[in-house]
Structure 1
Amino acid sequence: MSRSHKSLPRLYVEAPLAAGLQVDLGREQTNYLLTVLRMAAGEALVVFNGRDGAWIARIADAHRKGARLAVEVQVQHQTPRSDLWFGFAPLKTGRLDYLVQKATEMGAGVIQPVITRYTQVSRLRPDKLLANVVEAAEQCEVLSVPALAPEIELAQLMAGWRHTQGLRRLIFCDEAAPRHSPVSILGDLEGLPIGILVGPEGGFSESERNLLIQQDFVVPISLGPRILRADTAAVAALAVVQAIIGDWR
């Protein structure tokens, strides 16, 4: 995107985007533009919907009940959604928000909560998770917003993996794995679709670990000699995968 556009606010919308279209905003997004950002009619921003690229739009009509945007010109073409699947055991509020935001920033294409024995949160709010995904996409110029898949039990995920994921390998961040670099292990997965699974605080139970390592599609890796908190482990795993076989190369 042009440097002159990088200073403009970014806003995710659901509506189709094309030159000449108008987009009506709800009360929440209107309040964000008019009250939080103190924008006014005629001012420009960047809008995107995860399908049609990024566009310059101007506030054509500004009132507190709902602003209207006029879409003008495309400034970025749409990028394809990442093929990287990211599964995580939900954490407590705050750290859960952080984890979902970082997964979005780090290039996950699908984000899915996985319920394990030691999962800390039993009830999730998909709307709140999606809000964190969107916020991260807005702040970090992510055009391909990750899909948020519904929560699933670990055993159910394993039983249906081949049917739903095909040849995808699942990288399992295993605290009990031998302490050596994952570079060579990940290098062997070059060109294959990849998933990453990060467990809860306290790790997977012994039976869950046994279930995982018995699957021929699961690839255990170590994240080094230190015990990492779950949200730190997620960022570390995403970084090492993106650097070795992902889109950082």
Structure 2
Amino acid sequence: MPATPAWPPRSAPRLFVVPELAEGAMVTLEGNPAHYLARVMRVAAGDTVILCDDITGEWAAEVAYAGKRHVEVRVIRQMRGREHVPDFWLCPALIKRDRFYMVLEKATELGAARIVPVITRRSVVDKLNLERAQTVVVEAAEQCARTALPDLAAPAPLDRLLRDWPAGRLLFFADEQGGAPVGDALRESEMAAILVGPEGGFDDAERAAIRQLPQARPISLGPSILRAETAALAATALFMALAGDWRG
């Protein structure tokens, strides 16, 4: 007798949705999500999709209707609760669009709780399309089966970021002029943030302002001069390994 196929199938499309989900609820998908399901994945009535709401977690649902403009799905049962996310903020300086989108994508995959884009004097970019950036974040979470989305903030000038910095949160900043070994520093706190500069690094005035912040801790990311996007993602991965959810 053949084995009963697993349900829901691993190949089922995954989507984040806005309404809070509950067993038996009917959800109407329109716009890009409906286009993705109906035109790209070509779902039909009876097919399975996986929905996440960034509140309750992950749910299996069944397509009730798939039309050209909207798709209706019925929520069947919860599969996982919303995952625990380490209390880690990534504060990367704005860099060229495609490279910054890669930072957003990979930081989401790695599990950052909050991403705060920063505008510095040497930033070659001072604007961010937040709608597109949020789409990058959502698609990254869907692709790697996360059940939580990072909070994506609007870009903030460095001076404002420092002025409004919360008292109880350490701010590790990658200082190309040197600092504590990153492996030692990141074990200091499980509620922290990492600040990474742009391609040209922080200027002297910015570096002095950061160091004046009581919560600031300069760190070194090793002997090599890393690109801005490499430094941001390497620091995020190190935090997850040393103080985050990679410890098991």
TM-score, length of structure 1 as denominator length: 0.92
Q: Which amino acid aligns with 2:172?
A: I
CA–CA separation in structure 2 for the residues paired with 1:122 and 1:236: 23
**Which moved further from structure 2: 50-59 or 114-123?**
114-123
CA–CA separation in structure 1 for the residues paired with 2:194 and 2:181: 17
Per-residue deviation, 1:190: 3.6
| 1:120-176, Cα deviation, whole Å (9 max, x unpaired) | 222211101110110111011111111111221101111111xxx231000101111
**Which moved further from structure 2: 74-83 or 110-119?**
74-83
| 1:29-73, Cα deviation, whole Å (9 max, x unpaired) | 111111111222211011001001100011111111111111111
Change (3 A) 1:83 1:5: farther
Percent of aligned positions with the same letter in both sequences? 40
Instruction: Indicate the residue corresponding to 1:229 in structure 2.
Output: 227
User: 1:140 aligned to 139, 144, 160, which one?
Assistant: 144
Q: Which amino acid aligns with 1:155?
A: D
CA–CA separation in structure 2 for the residues paired with 1:56 and 1:26: 19
Per-residue deviation, 1:5: 4.2
The answer as to 2:218 corresponding to 1:217 is no
Per-residue deviation, 1:81: 4.0
Q: Which amino acid aligns with 2:230?
A: T
The answer as to 2:184 corresponding to 1:184 is yes
The answer as to 2:167 corresponding to 1:166 is yes
User: 1:76 aligned to 69, 77, 80, which one?
Assistant: 80
RMSD (Å) for aligned C-alpha atoms: 1.6
Secondary structure of the structure 2 residue equivalent to 1:56: strand
8 A Cα contact 2:93 2:196, kept in partner: yes
- Number of corresponding residues: 242
Which ranges of structure 1 fall in alignment gaps of 5 or more residues? none
More strand by share: 2
**Which moved further from structure 2: 3-12 or 46-55?**
3-12
